[in-house]
Amino acid sequence: MATMTRAYALSLLSSPSVLRARHATSSPFPGAYTPLHLRRSFRIQIPRPGSLRVRAARTESTSVSLGFRAPYFELPEPLTGKTVKLDDFEGSPALLVMFICNHCPFVKHLKKEITKLATFYMKKGLAVVAISSNSIITHPQDGPELMAEEAKSFGYPFPYLFDESQEVARAFGAVCTPEFFLFKKDGRRPFELVYHGQFDDSRPSNNLPVTGRDLSRAIDCVLSGQKLPMDQKPSVGCSIKWHPS
């Protein structure tokens, strides 16, 4: 397990997000002119680099019991026009189901590293699928045509599926993007949930490098047949955009 984790970590050493974190600066922006008649009323505060915060509703993944069986799904893949279903992954020892979308800043922050992690572990036998369940009534930027463009642009090695009815998200108990469900399979037994936690500690505004540490450790345990730690930090992201009632 340690060898696989180190191998994945080495593949991230040259990641732009890691390099940016190493060379971050804290020098202030130039000051701004304040009209005389306003100087006693308030002060204009100029933000420092790295101090800007993402204005997005933060939602944590809610508790789902480990051992939970993967709900059945059968969804279209906008990029190829194919239909992908749970049964397609029957021969895999483990399955990672990710709820993501196009627009969420928390997903955008991880997209490149999610692609790297998936590519690395799919070669080890992991099956991976991503699902977007956001309402296109309220968020048309998450619609199927733009999903296809996104999958092509980022070179997703996994199918990126559209859950238009949102029934699959509800069946999984998904509430945010990104949200990760890692299942393992023993023989003919159904896929059972073993990890429902975060990608790593990095967030869009905390300047921590994206490493995929938490999720990669969980995958290593599953693929090597070891037990996973019970303390799993919840994923944090944007709330799933449910259809208006």
User: What does the pLDDT look like over 72-124, one tens digit per residue?
Assistant: 999 999 999 999 999 999 999 999 999 999 999 999 999 999 999 999 999 99
Asked if 100 contacts 178 with a C-beta cutoff of 8 angstroms, the reply is yes
* CB of 242 closer than 8 Å to CB of 176: no
- Which comes out higher in pLDDT, residue 9 or 131? 131
Per-residue model confidence (pLDDT) at position 45 = 41
- Give pairs for 48-54: CB < 8 Å, separation 24+: 49/24, 49/25, 50/24, 50/25, 50/26, 50/207, 52/205, 53/205, 54/105, 54/106, 54/204, 54/205
Could you report the per-residue pLDDT of 134-169, keeping only the tens digit for each? 999 999 999 999 999 999 999 999 999 999 999 999
Helix (H) or strand (E) holding 95: strand 94-99
Residue 64's pLDDT is 77
Query: Highest mean pLDDT range out of 47-56, 182-191, 225-234?
Result: 182-191
Does residue 56 surpass a pLDDT of 60?
Answer: no
Mean pLDDT of 56-79: 85
What is the pLDDT, as a whole number, of residue 39? Answer: 39
Over 90: is that where the pLDDT of 35 sits?
A: no
Q: Provide the pLDDT for residue 12.
A: 53
